[in-house]
Structure 1
Amino acid sequence: MAACPSHSSNHRAEGSASAAGPLRIGSLELAIPIVLAPMAGYTDSTFRTICLRRGCGLVFTELVSSEGIVRNITRTLNMLHTRDNERPIAAHIYGSDPEVMARAARRTEELGRFDLIDINAGCPVPKIVRKGAGVALMRDPTRLHDIVRAVVQAVSLPVTVKTRTGLSPDNANISEVAHAVEEAGASALFLHARLASARHGGPADLDALSRIKDELSIPVIGNGGITSAASASFMLKETGVDGVMVGRAAIGNPWIFAAITAALAGKEYRPPQSHDWVDVMTRHLRGLYGEMLRENAQRKRPRPHTERAACNRFRGHLTKYLRHAGCPARARRTLLEQQEVEALLRLVAEALQSPNSGEETDAVS
């Protein structure tokens, strides 16, 4: 089984390993075939916008409940909030009922904020699977076909599906699932090249990606194991997929999209400097705090301590940012304890501009 290399390239990007060009998904044409994966708790609106400005070709919302959309639940609808310049973007929805999914997709399209509707058929989280949604749909390709068909008929936007290679080693039925999705009218398939039982562990199954790419006539975008420009180029070259989707490697490192783009074009990649890290963390935390203030204002009973909650939510991003930026470990501990936005950002700037910063830099390529 072929697997993506995990090593990082140096500052001069490798020559183009694939002739990856614009990616057409139905009526949507992406100039850059590099996509940010949906990740619960991480792909907030501010982070998505940051990635788009650094070479990402398409972003996704976090996983949004179709039931919550049709029931007009405020918390769910907040997950569909986007910025004016946050395009192209996909609404990433889940559910198990074709009619409800169709209604949710129609409601989402009517918002006028999205460029495509993506159906999740790959999430292995138990609370999603128990509802018959997410990767549970791989157990019933006929139901998945019916969901895709219903959504395609309900909207004018392109409809895509994100799924995995199967549930387990003895139930790796991606070929059957992929054909069901294509026959139902999907415009593309986003394929996480791992089994549900593997979650995010182990190498991506590039042989499965290559096989499904050969079997389908719609675009296939590969996901799994992309940690650098080198691994993205390798996946494109080895499988012939039409694009790549970057997941956890983008957390704390939105420049990975610029690095991949440079590698595919055979151009030099210039890594960010200390002031770039300070700028992106400032934009991210302030933007996230603003989002949370907006959401809190919509509550019947606004919650106290929104600033502290924003710092806590940002912590997962902050840990990764600081590691990639080469912030000394002793300074990281202090930063992670901060509960005030501006105080945290001031300390970030001081830490990254100190003489010892950069001593543990993780390659940003």
Structure 2
Amino acid sequence: MKIGAMGVWPPVVLAPMAGITNAPFRVLCREQGGGLFVCEMITTRALVERNPKTLRMIRFAESESPRSIQLYGVDPDTVGRAARMIAEEDLADHIDLNFGCPVPKVTRRGGGSALPYKRHLLRRILRAAVANAGSLPVTMKMRKGIDDDHLTYLDAGRIAVEEGVAAIALHARTAKQHYGGVADWSAIARLKEAVPEIPVLGNGDIWCADDALRMVAETGCDGVVVGRGCLGRPWLFRDLANAFDGGAERARPTLGEVAAMMARHAEGLVECFDLERYAVADFRKHVGWYLKGFTVGGELRRELASAESLDQLREGLARLDHDQPWPPNTDTPRGKSGERGKVHLPDGWLDDPWDGAVPDDAESDTSGG
């Protein structure tokens, strides 16, 4: 798969996930197989203002190549400045634009999955990003639309092609669906038919490598984007690499191998954050994902999920049954799920889909979704 001049094989992308896809996690995933591994969502205003937290979030490990940054922005001028900064200061090799985030603090500003409804504003943002990115490929990730009555993905796809976007990823749910229900893979097929000029990547309900192959076969998409399916499972990228190369082998680590990966993950976070207590606390959310399906006593699970130091975590991991085999039937949904009652939007957002004005107070100064 080619994204601009950049070759990507296997055709797999790690979806940006707030609080998840930092450098330590990306390194663990990248070790398993190739593809693109995108950092957490970065707010354009915070980047151009050189917010210290944001600048830490775009640090890449020496082993990471190519380097991918996902930007979130609502003001075309700010998005353009951020793209120029990334290109001129060699901060990354690829820029992805977020038009898929469904969380209220993003959509109520007109950003994320709310923005493609405003066709002219979307065009202005894409034009500014591509014009300022120099030789870097610019891609976009989006959803089907706000809800079933306000679908935007086909219009957005054509606008993206016209403005020089190098590839499009579609999460085949609406913002209202959030992460609930079943992804509508038929929408991925329709988008591919509508924009044959550039790669289309499908996203949604890929829980194992065979799901990825099935999505490509059913939709004709050029590649896949994996999000929640890899939570606690960096090995999924090994499976994906094997699958796209025609291999049948699938990773089935023992609980001891999982424990070793958990320790490496936590240790990497400590190196990244430079504060052990904070890093170990950040790691706690991963414990349940790593241990999903394994037989582990409730008390030990609680200890691991409340550890306050690396030593505490290591002591708990040492008490696991390291010979326990990979559990069956674990290729099932992981992470957050459920549908939203409503999508939070700026006042009057749905009144005029062709309005290109930037909403008041649109640009957030905080990165990370």
What is the identity, as a one-letter code, of the residue corresponding to 2:155?
A: E
Q: Secondary structure at the match of 2:83?
A: helix
**Are residue 105 (structure 1) and residue 83 (structure 2) matched?**
yes
Cα distance change, pair 280–110 in 1 and its aligned pair in 2 (3 A) = farther
**Matched residue count:** 329
Candidates 267, 272, 277, aligned match of 1:286: 267
Cα distance change, pair 347–27 in 1 and its aligned pair in 2 (3 A) = same
Deviation at 1:328, TM superposition (A): 4.0
Cα distance change, pair 55–327 in 1 and its aligned pair in 2 (3 A) = farther
Once structures 1 and 2 are overlaid, which stretch shifts more, 218-227 or 50-59? 50-59
Aligned residues of 2:292 and 2:330 also touching (Cα < 8 A): no
Deviation at 1:233, TM superposition (A): 1.4
2:279 aligns with 310
User: For the residues of structure 2 that align with 1:267 and 1:340, how far apart are their CA atoms?
Assistant: 39
Q: How does 1:1-365 map to 2 (within 5 A)?
A: 23-155=1-133, 156-216=135-195, 217-264=197-244, 265-293=246-274, 306-323=275-292, 326-353=295-322, 357-358=324-325, 363=330
TM-score (norm 2): 0.85
Aligned residues of 2:39 and 2:58 also touching (Cα < 8 A): yes
What is the RMSD of the two structures over their aligned residues, measured on CA atoms?
A: 1.8
Aligned residues of 1:253 and 1:364 also touching (Cα < 8 A): no
Once structures 1 and 2 are overlaid, which stretch shifts more, 123-132 or 182-191? 123-132
Once structures 1 and 2 are overlaid, which stretch shifts more, 147-156 or 236-245? 147-156
What is the identity, as a one-letter code, of the residue corresponding to 1:332?
A: R
Give CA deviations for 1:157-185 in whole Å, capped at 9, x if unaligned.
00001100111010112111111111111
TM-score (norm 1): 0.85
User: For the residues of structure 2 that align with 1:162 and 1:213, how far apart are their CA atoms?
Assistant: 14
Structure 2 gaps, min length 5: 333-369
Cα distance change, pair 325–157 in 1 and its aligned pair in 2 (3 A) = farther
Pick the structure with more helix per residue.
1
Q: Secondary structure at the match of 2:96?
A: strand
Deviation at 1:113, TM superposition (A): 4.0
Structure 1 gaps, min length 5: 1-22, 294-305
Aligned residues of 1:65 and 1:93 also touching (Cα < 8 A): yes
